[in-house]
Every structure is written in structure tokens, then in C-alpha cells.
Amino acid sequence: MFVESQNTSLKSDIFRSGDTSGLSNAVELTGSFYFLTSNTANETIFYTRTPDEVYFFICFDCESFANEKMIEKKEGKLTFLDQAFIFQSGSEQLYFYVDNNYHKEIEDNFKVDKDKSKTYKGIGIGFHKLNLTDDIHRNEKLSNENIVSSINKFDTFEEIYQSFTINQ
């Protein structure tokens, strides 16, 4: 069963441990996530939804987990820090980041313990949020079933995203 995520930013231990004023899209969500790795673009994608929004978090040209496409549903907490994000599921912690000077500031500011995490470096970190509206046609396109179908069908985030955002 897919459990809609809740915005837990105000309760976030990570956010409390540092200064979020320099972040433009800081958010923490807790609930069900679909986790896609090793597509042809070497992207790692996390997808979740709240009652009002659909979220995607992407690590572009990310170090791979495996040589084939893998899709998993996991319960957990994802904390987005602009140039990095952390996914915690039970005792497993995954840390995705861009190797630049900014990520070292993030690690220092938010006390990210890379020794506790499996770390994955990419050339870019992406964040996309789509608001659910009163438009029934749009909301049908953004249904959990359609998004998961797109994740299974397409090989890049761009193809996945276009499959339900282009007006048809």
C-alpha cells in the first residue's frame, strides 16, 4: 500500500542541526517512496506524493547501484538540501550529492555523517514539485498508477516527466 508522505520539515532533526536560510528548496518528507535506479541516463529517482503535491528528487549521472533498472517501493524519510539529499529507511541511509565546494558546506552545516551513509555522487541534483489542482484531467494524469507506469515504461527522468506533464 502506498502511504502518502507528510511534510515533516518542522520536526526535522537534520534541519534543526544547521542553518536552512541558505537553502531555497529545503524540504523533508516522510512516507512511501518509489525508488528507481540504473536507468539508461544513469539517474537515481525518488518519487512520492502528499495529499496536495507530487515530488521527484533526482541524482543525475549518479554512481550506479546495479547494471539493470531497479524499482523499489520503500517507506522512509527524504531530506532535500538543494545540492544533496538524504534518504533514511529503517537503519539504511543513502546520501546523494554533487561533488563541489557547496556539498562540503552542507555536510558541515547539517552534520551529515558520511560514515553512517551509503554515498552516491552525481553531476547534478534535481527537485521537481507538481501541485495537484481541481483539474480532474490533470490529477488523473498525476495519479499514483500513471506515474508508476511511466517510471516502469520510460528510461530517463525527462521522458517520465513529459509523459504526464504534456497536454494531450
Q: Which residues on neighbouring strands pair with residue 79, listed in sequence order?
A: 28, 86
From residue 3, alpha-carbon distances to 14, 33, 48, 144, 157 in Å are 22, 9, 9, 11, 23
Could you tell me which residue, 167 or 121, shows the higher pLDDT? 121
Widest CA span in the chain: 47
Max mean pLDDT among 5-14, 114-123, 159-168 falls in: 5-14
Query: What is the pLDDT, as a whole number, of residue 77?
Result: 96
pLDDT > 90: percent of the chain: 29
pTM: predicted TM-score of the whole model, two decimal places: 0.88
Phi, psi of 139, deg, nearest 5: -65, -35
DSSP 29: E
Provide the pLDDT for residue 10: 92
| Cell digits of residue 117 | 551513509
At residue 167, does pLDDT exceed 60? Answer: no
Average pLDDT over residues 85-93: 91
Looking at mean pLDDT, say which of 23-32, 56-65, 150-159 comes out highest: 23-32
Within 10 Å of residue 136's Cβ, how many Cβ atoms? 8
